[in-house]
Amino acid sequence: MNPRQRVSALLFPVILLLAACGQQGASSPAAPEASQDPLDAMSLEELVAAAEEEGEVVVYSFTSRIEAVEEAFEAEYPNIDLIGSDMSSTEQIARLQAEADAGAAEADVAYISDAPVVFGDLVQSGILHRYVPAAFADTVPAAYQEPLLANRLSTKVLMYNEEAYPDGSPISNLWELTTDEWRGKVVMVDPLVRGDYLDLMTEIVLRADEMAEAYEALNGEPITLDEGIENAGEQFIADLFANDVVLVDDTDNVNAAIGALGQDDPPVGFTSYSDRRDNEDEGWALQVADGVAPAPGIAFPALLGVVDGAPHPAAARLVIHYLMGDDSETGGPGYEPFYVAGDYPTRTDITPPEDALSLEEVGAWEIDPVAVFEIRQDVADLILTLQ
């Protein structure tokens, strides 16, 4: 083999690789618009026209209900192809970060929870941008417009099986979960794997005073803290883990564990109130435990953001507009998948569904994303030592 042949033989695999890279044109970053402001100020009709020119839109969504939204959206705007991807908030955060680093944004819209990390990391570094359609600027409270728009509040609260407990929740105080009666019969997703559950644990630590009061109300004496534990909230988490709390890796496993029909002695656990909508299809009997002292869990916003460098910015804004719903009382087809008990629209002009407990009745704590973000990592470390 002469030298030239040798060199070309060695270069051949390199050429193959480069050719393979060249084929994938889809991920080339779009040239940044001169300024995003013109799109932010457009009316709905102008937005639709611009979006139809773009032709498609990619949405990352933390809820699988995006499929239903996709159908309704494409029925309304047949010239725009909505491509929805269902991935957990934790995964979305990692993915959006990686795409930003690569300079190749694939998604246009992020529909995401885990507000503490979203605000603390993604918004701070400019990966997600805020967009509030003018039509909803008045009907959504200011708190749910900054730093990103939220179209509803979702929950992570204590739920039980209403077939086995037809007279109401068997738990009326969170501290009961740490007693012998409920040893090994409390289920939740591992907080170290799902950010929303870590936020729940963190909020419990932030509300340590209320937790201490609740302890006293149940046991008649003030709480004593173990060594290394700083407040009643941390003590609760430690006791919960010492009481053999069962950890799984997905909310649907929690739902099946708590809610499956035909159980004599089902466990209770933390999951989303809105998962009750699947009771009939899945054969569950989920019901929210209201009236739990000091609170059954947390309520947190479901955020909508435009991704920086999105390939289809106008269509992205149209999707956000669509997800906020329309003029009708129940929010219309865009909001319909979320018009269930357990989802609380941020718009003040939508009537709640019947048979749904209001947020006050449920009594869940609304989280403060900034406060949660500050101590979240410490709570995660605490949980690590308990596992």
Partner 1 sequence: MNSAAPAAATPPGALFWRVRRALRQPVVVIGLGVTFVLGVLAAVPLARLIGDTITADGGSAWSDVLASRLSENLFWSPLVATVAIGLIVGLGSVVLGAGLAWLVVMTDAPGRRLIGFLASLPFVLPSFALALAWESVFRNDLVGGRVGVLWAMGVGVPDWLSWGFVPVCIILIAHYFSLVFLLVAAALASVNADLTEAGEMAGASRGRVALGITLPVVMPAIVAGFLLAFAEGVSNFAVPALLGLPVRFQTLSTRLYGSISTGQTERGFVLAVLLICVAALVLFAASRLTGRGRGYATITGKGGRRRTLALGRWRWPLVAVAAGICLATTIVPAAVLALSSVARRSGQLSGELTLHFWSGASDPSIAQGTEGVLRNPQIIEAGLTTLLLGVAVAALSALLALGIGYVVVRGKGTLLARAVELMSFVPFLIPGIALGAAYIAVFGRPIGPLPALYGTLALLILAGTAATLPFAAQAGRSTMGQVAGDLEEAAVMAGASMPRRMAAIIVPLSLRGLLAGGVLVFVKMVRDLSLVVLLVTPSTTLLSVIAFRYASEGFAQFANAITVVIAAISVGATLLARRLEGAAQPWAEQ
Interacting positions 131-160 with partner 1 (CB under 8 A): none
Question: Quick one: which segment of 131-139, 278-286, 315-323, 338-346 binds partner 1 (CB under 8 A)?
Answer: 278-286
290-329: contacts with partner 1 (CB under 8 A)? none
Q: Closer to partner 1 at the Cβ: 85 or 173?
A: 85
Q: Which of 32, 126, 184, 222: binder of partner 1 (CB under 8 A)?
A: 184
Question: Quick one: which segment of 174-182, 203-211, 260-268, 314-322 binds partner 1 (CB under 8 A)?
Answer: 260-268
Q: Closer to partner 1 at the Cβ: 117 or 212?
A: 117
86: Cβ–Cβ under 8 A, 6 or more apart, which residues? Answer: 61, 62, 63, 64, 66, 67
Q: Which of 116, 133, 233, 267: binder of partner 1 (CB under 8 A)?
A: 267
Q: If you count DSSP H runs as helices and E runs as strands, how many of each does the chain have, helices first?
A: 15, 12
Q: Which of 4, 21, 75, 78: binder of partner 1 (CB under 8 A)?
A: 21
380 binds partner 1 (CB under 8 A): yes
Nearest-approach distance from CB 217 to partner 1, in angstroms: 28
Partnered with residue 58 across adjacent β-strands are 83
Give me the amino acid identity at 136. Answer: F
Q: Which of 229, 256, 357, 359: binder of partner 1 (CB under 8 A)?
A: 256
331-370: contacts with partner 1 (CB under 8 A)? 337
32 binds partner 1 (CB under 8 A): no
Please check whether residue 22 is in contact with residue 49, taking contact to mean a CB–CB distance below 8 angstroms.
no
Nearest-approach distance from CB 249 to partner 1, in angstroms: 6
CA 187 → CA 92, 248, 283, distances in Å?
A: 25, 7, 18
Letters for 191-220 (x = contact with partner 1 by CB under 8 A, - = none) are -xx-x--x----------------------
Nearest-approach distance from CB 368 to partner 1, in angstroms: 20
47-86: contacts with partner 1 (CB under 8 A)? 58, 60, 64-65, 67-68, 71, 83, 85-86
- 126 torsion bin: left (phi>0), alpha (psi -120 to 50), beta (else): left
Letters for 98-137 (x = contact with partner 1 by CB under 8 A, - = none) are xx-xxxx-xx---------x---x----------------
Burial of 68 (0-12, 13-18, 19+ CB in 10 A): middle
Q: Closer to partner 1 at the Cβ: 166 or 228?
A: 228
Q: Which of 51, 82, 93, 303: binder of partner 1 (CB under 8 A)?
A: 93
- 80 torsion bin: left (phi>0), alpha (psi -120 to 50), beta (else): beta
In 94-133, which positions are buried (b, 16+ CB within 10 angstroms) versus exposed (e)? Answer: ebbeebbeeebbbbbbbbbbbbbbbbbbbbeeebbbbbbb
Q: What would you measure as the largest C-alpha separation in the chain, in angstroms?
A: 91
Residue 306's nearest CA partner among 322, 291, 318, 324 is: 318
Total residue count of the chain as it appears in this document: 387
Nearest-approach distance from CB 229 to partner 1, in angstroms: 12
CA dist., res. 49 & res. 315, Å (int): 9
Q: Closer to partner 1 at the Cβ: 26 or 142?
A: 26
Nearest-approach distance from CB 238 to partner 1, in angstroms: 13
Q: Closer to partner 1 at the Cβ: 33 or 250?
A: 250
235-254: contacts with partner 1 (CB under 8 A)? 246-250, 252-253
Q: Closer to partner 1 at the Cβ: 61 or 151?
A: 61
Please check whether residue 82 is in contact with residue 60, taking contact to mean a CB–CB distance below 8 angstroms.
no
CA dist., res. 315 & res. 96, Å (int): 18
CA atoms within 13 A on the CB side of 1: 8
Three-state SS for 162?
A: coil
